[in-house]
A and B are shown apart, each in its own frame.
Chain A
Amino acid sequence: MQALKEVISYFRFAKYKSSPGVYRATDRSEVNARLVGWSKDFESSGAAPVRAALLVAVIGELANNSFDHNLGKWKDLPGCLVGIDVLNDRFRISIADRGQGIANSLRRVKPGALNNDELLRVAFEERVSGRSPERRGNGLKFIRKNFIEHGGLSLVCLSSSAIYKLGDELELVRILSPISDYAGTLTCIDWSRS
């Protein structure tokens, strides 16, 4: 789980060590240029082509979200850090940025009494965007639907002092939920390899 460890370090302390499976992107093109390679890597590790493509589409959406919603809003380091761990029965994908956080982005378009946990749920389950009135806001729903239908085991998102969880497994929740001192957004997904 070396990659996840470095992504957590980036999320908490703005520091990480270059390691296998750790990819730094200060510009979205650095993520987008790697997508085909990651898809082929997932297939080499046993994923069916359709599942590999969907998993990479999910990574692409998450990483591009970092740039779409944080341009000019980075706390310190711009961009994101992507981690890919290949475990016995799953891929563990982690993506962190040090941006403004999802709830802070959405509060502008969803003012009112919603707390940050509720805003995070809205982000994943409703069509809404912090960049309204632009017609967008389906990315996290896309991720959630494909997670449920195509091999997702566990998803945990930490952002704006809130947590969003999907799946029945507790390992990622156990690792991530104690983290309280951070900037930005961290999303970690376990995805079945077979």
Chain B
Amino acid sequence: MSVVEIRKFGEALASRSEGREAGLSTLAYDFEGLPPDEVTLDFNNVLIMTPSWLGEYVQTLMSRGVKKINYINTSPVVDSSIEFISEEI
């Protein structure tokens, strides 16, 4: 299973443009241009998350072929963002 540690992008993730950049970086360097169908996002030690960053990150992955996203080690602030992006994706 492909697991991405979101903490490597920072502790506080709040910007759409940065979320998109993080998504493109994941596609290039974690998946080497061949994204899997299913990806797990690990939010361990992520302190601040907004639906802007997360929405853009997930949309970027899904626009390149990722079909299913799982979320682990979330927190209430991460869960709140996940709830809001479900309408965008």
Residues of A whose CB lies within 8 Å of any CB of B are 28, 31-32, 35-36, 39, 50, 53-54, 56-57, 60-61, 63-64, 68, 127, 135-139, 141-142, 145-146
Contact = CB atoms under 8 A, between A and B. Distances in A.
A145 B52 contact: no
Contacts of A57: 14, 48-50, 77, 80-81
Interface in B62-89: 75-77, 80-81, 84-85, 87-89
A142 B12 contact: no
B16 A136 contact: yes
A53 to B, nearest CB: 4
B18 A142 contact: no
Chain B residues touching A, range: 20 to 34
B23 interface: no
Contact of B47 (A36, A136, A145): A36
A159 B25 CA distance: 36
Contact of B55 (A31, A63, A138): A138
Contacts of A138: 51, 55, 84-85, 87-88
A68 to B, nearest CB: 6
B59 interface: yes
B48 A127 contact: no
Contact of B51 (A50, A54, A56, A142): A142
Contacts of A142: 50-51, 80-81, 84
Contacts of B56: 136
- From B49, B50, B84, residue with most partner A Cβ within 10 Å: B50
18 contacts: A28-B15, A32-B12, A32-B14, A35-B48, A36-B47, A39-B12, A39-B48, A56-B48, A57-B14, A57-B77, A57-B80, A61-B50, A61-B51, A61-B52, A68-B52, A135-B88, A136-B16, A138-B87
B11 interface: yes
